[in-house]
Chains A and B, each alone.
Chain A
Amino acid sequence: MTFQQYIPIIVVGIGLIWIFIRSWRGQDVDRRIVFSFIGLTVALALIFQVMFGERATAIVRAAYDKIENLPEGSRILLSYDFDPAMAPEVHPMANSFIRHAMAKNHKLYLYSLWATGQTLLQESLTEVLEPEFPEKEYGKDWVVMGYKAGNEGVLNVIVTDIRKMYPTDVHNTSLDSLPIYDGVKSLKDFDLLISVGGGKPGVKEWVLFAGDRANVPVAGGSAAVSAPLLYPYYPRQLIGLLGGTKGAAEYESELIREYPRFADIDTPALRMMGPQTMAHVVIIAFILIGNVAYFRGKRKRRSEV
């Protein structure tokens, strides 16, 4: 971290010490001070681009290791199952999966079960896949299948016969003329299925209707609010899960650490974790200060009695 990035930490630290002293002296902390602190913390962290290093937890590392350890040329399906509201949290995950798969020379099949997913998928192509991997060929190394309506009904079909639901790709090219689809008839022919999203259809539907039935491992990326509902599926039905911005940041940090070519990539999740981490620390500090004030007040009342 640079000196500039320490400025918010110093400022917030001094402020917290001041509030602690006030509480110790028995002065109450007005809620406006709490609000100002949160606003100041997040604003300073964003302005000075505070970023902390991340290490992947086991649940994120499991997803990472799966892609890392698959033999070169493995078939990975990535499904964009989210809308613009969720995109700040989960789009970085999808981009990380694309980078990792392409760096490992796997074959990438891009699907979407949400209508809005197709636009976001296109953004990933424009911002990540095409500029960073110009050597990869469409139709040979990656393919875009696009959006199909039907939610889990789509999965019920492609688990046994992809061409029945997708006779062509998003550019209306027959699958039989795409080399990437040689030997691929159904989801059973894939090595890994990944769903990124936080609603329905999403990771749960891919686990229940695709992974379980096709007996193919499933990994997921989910918004933080939906992630707890997916933990029960880990590790048997879901081999790994990225939960919220933290999960996305952990995955990005692993990529940067293990792939020098990604050292200079844009890391939105890691950038967002700075303000989030500082806000969490401030909340923890306020909880501690509140308890200190509570016990001090209790002791004072007892001694007065």
Chain B
Amino acid sequence: MTAKLYTTITAITITALSLLLLLIAAPHALLAQSDAVAESPDSATTAVAQVPDLGPILITVEDFPSDAGEALIIGWEDPGYVSLPDFIEYRVTRYTDDSDNGMVIGTSVLNPEVIDGEASHSIAHSYTVAAVFPDHEVISARSEPAMAEIQWVAADKYAVIIIGIFVCAAVIFFIETAKRGKTLFLRRIAGLEAIDEAVGRATEMGRPILFVAGIQDMDDVQTLAGLTILGRVARTVAQYDSKINMPCRASLVMTAGREVIKEAYNVAGRPDAYSDDMVHYVTDEQFGFVAATNGIMVREKPATCFYLGAFFAESLILAETGNSIEAIQIAGTAMPAQLPFFVAACDYTLIGEELFAASAYLSEEPRQLGSLKGQDVGKALAMIAIVVGGISVTLAQAWDIGLFQVIESALRTAFNIQLPVR
């Protein structure tokens, strides 16, 4: 199966599955919630004469939203027992059958709600709520049996799903557009244009190139972005017959880095020039890694330094040391707090999304370029939401204009849904 066909089939399958999930699961989730609501009938109470009869304790049992059918919410109306002087607590008991063998699953004083986190979607449970006093209890009647329901789509994430599908669809659309031969405009990214020049400079000076792919492990997407650029840098290094040194903070990054550089040397036709010692592990300790890398920089004096990946406080230490040895420095990170340090101290900085765009930019492959265009559609959506949201909230709150209050409410609901905590 060719990669092209595989990609297309996968993309269509994903989109179809997502839509199918939404169509099936959403009504099911809503139905499950309403089905699971069970109320207790007017309850007789079991009480001793000292406690005044303030009326029945009415229980409601609802399914816990957006879960795998493992929880129920037991709520009740307090007829006034809380304000009695010797009231201790409300106690909720769960029953799995008609016998009187129940298990206390929770207590509450003021909050008229307890979550049963051990309910089941295959066994029906009923509940009683008892107002507890020092010498006696007032127990409600048992609720109707209720089962937890499985929700197949997380209700609090509908907005994320919809936006995610929209952005993914845009990316796939532009990938297909680019594959059909349409030229897509990309603005120039100075840091990426300078890679060849930077490697050439190192070759002329006879000094090595230092490459640091961030200090995070392979589970960070910034590290992967750094490694994609490493491939391109390593190929240029191999072609120019220069030297590259890549200290790593994580062993898996070391392994991946070796594969990337080895393959780059193979592609450049210089497999003999590759050595495993080009990529080496230093330490997992953050400042230990920085100290070692600084030592390498001060002793070996690389002519070019690349810092491409996730960095934290050590960003300025690396950049300033590179500055002191008069190296060309090209940095890129998606950590907003570290960007100012790189911008101040490095010659070129890839800011945030430019780091992720690098592989597409350097390869100039239509499929990858198309994904950048699709990303821009997402940005346009964000800009529209910010403008519309800002105007709506301002007009709604300043002048109480009804339409904008509705828009504001819809936006708040879509982006800020909160669930009860289990």
Name A residues whose Cβ lies closer than 8 Å to a Cβ of B: 31, 152-153, 156, 160-161, 163-164, 185-186, 225
Contacts and interface: CB of A to CB of B under 8 A. Distances in A.
Given A156-B421, A161-B110, A163-B109, 17 more contacts: A31-B324, A152-B421, A153-B421, A160-B108, A160-B109, A160-B110, A160-B111, A161-B108, A161-B109, A161-B111, A164-B107, A164-B108, A164-B109, A185-B109, A185-B110, A186-B110, A225-B337
20 contacts: A31-B324, A152-B421, A153-B421, A156-B421, A160-B108, A160-B109, A160-B110, A160-B111, A161-B108, A161-B109, A161-B110, A161-B111, A163-B109, A164-B107, A164-B108, A164-B109, A185-B109, A185-B110, A186-B110, A225-B337
A198 to B, nearest CB: 13
Most chain B Cβ neighbours within 10 Å, of A156, A163, A164: A164
Interface residues of B, number: 8
A79 to B, nearest CB: 19
B312 to A, nearest CB: 11
B324 to A, nearest CB: 6
Main secondary structure of the interface of A (DSSP, over half): helix
Interface of B: 107-111, 324, 337, 421
Contacts of A160: 108-111
Contacts of A31: 324
Most chain A Cβ neighbours within 10 Å, of B107, B108, B109: B109
A163 to B, nearest CB: 7
Nearest to B106: A164
A290 to B, nearest CB: 13
B273 to A, nearest CB: 36
Most chain A Cβ neighbours within 10 Å, of B108, B111, B324, B337: B111
Contacts of A153: 421
A156 B421 CA distance: 7
Most chain A Cβ neighbours within 10 Å, of B107, B108, B337, B421: B421
A28 to B, nearest CB: 14
Contacts of B111: 160-161
A286 to B, nearest CB: 14
A32 to B, nearest CB: 9
Nearest to A159: B111
Contacts of B109: 160-161, 163-164, 185
B82 to A, nearest CB: 9
